[in-house]
Amino acid sequence: MTGNDLAEALAAAHGLTKADAKKYVDAVFAAIGDAAAKGEDVSLNGFGKFATKRTPERQGLNPATKEPITIKAANKISFKPAKALKDKLNG
């Protein structure tokens, strides 16, 4: 499912225009992205939790040359599904 598919489903379920539904979908994901960029967790009841994590700088190997390289520290986002979503997926 794409963002456009999600907007179409929202429009159909709530009698919105596709353009308005697309704006709402974009706004929700922008808010999630903004919160993640600030290092905040985003919890959606019955769906799950988006959490950010800082990974430290570490050593790795260049696969082509086998020489050591430094992999920069980075922020990552993860998703942990809620029990209700897990139950829905597993019948």
Please write the tens of the pLDDT for every residue from 10-49. Answer: 999 999 999 999 999 999 999 999 999 999 999 999 999 9
Task: Identify whether 89 is part of a domain.
Answer: no
Strand partners, 59: 70
Which amino acid, one-letter code, is at 11? Answer: A
In a domain, 58, yes or no: yes
Residue 91 is assigned to a structural domain of this protein = no
The pLDDT of 77-84, averaged and rounded, is: 96
Residue 57 lies in a domain: yes
Domain that holds residue 58: 3-83
Q: How confident is the model at residue 91 (pLDDT cuts 50, 70, 90)?
A: confident
Q: Does 64 fall in a domain?
A: yes
Cα–Cα distance for residue pair 1/20, rounded to 1 Å: 18
Query: What is the C-alpha separation between 88 and 82, in angstroms, rounded?
Result: 10
Question: How many domains in the chain?
Answer: 1
Residue 11 falls inside a structural domain: yes
